[in-house]
């Protein structure tokens, strides 16, 4: 079955430990909802640098990644259906969905 990379952009950091626990509970519930489709639930991304030909710049460009996951799905539409349940969408974030091509 094909694998799909979810690259998270945006969202917001919790403002208190209690809010952090509530947000984490939503993420874990979403993970449980996807079940065996989750290949690697991933992690948040820290500060980044952008590497280009001959240059390294601070930051991730106009829309830096804030985390990632890897799931399996029958096709990109099925992967997008899984992505629609992600809690980052409630916080103004977005998810880039791309097939992880076999090499």
Q: Look up residue 47 and give its two tokens.
A: 């500060």
Structural domain tally of the chain? 1
Q: For residue 60, what pLDDT band results from cuts at 50, 70 and 90?
A: confident
pTM: 0.91
Convert the pLDDT of each residue in 19-43 to its tens digit: 999 999 999 999 999 999 999 999 9
CA distances from 43 to 46, 77, 103 (A): 9, 23, 24
- Can you give the pLDDT at residue 61? 82
CATH number at residue 85: 3.30.70.1060
The whole-number pLDDT of residue 80 equals 98
Domain that includes residue 55, residue range: 3-100
Instruction: Report pLDDT for 62.
Output: 83
Residues 59-70 have a mean pLDDT of 91
Find residue 96's DSSP bridge partners.
Answer: 7
């Amino acid at each position: 079955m094909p694998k799909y990379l979810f690259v998270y952009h945006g969202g917001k950091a919790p403002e208190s430990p209690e809010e952090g626990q509530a947000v984490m509970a939503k993420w874990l519930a979403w993970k449980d909802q996807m079940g065996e489709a989750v290949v690697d639930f991933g992690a948040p991304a820290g500060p980044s640098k952008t590497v280009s030909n001959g240059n390294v710049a601070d930051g991730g460009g106009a829309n830096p990644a804030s985390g990632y996951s890897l799931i399996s799905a029958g096709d990109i539409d099925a992967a997008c259906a899984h992505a629609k349940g992600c809690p980052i969408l409630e916080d103004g974030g977005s998810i880039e969905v791309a097939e992880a091509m076999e090499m």
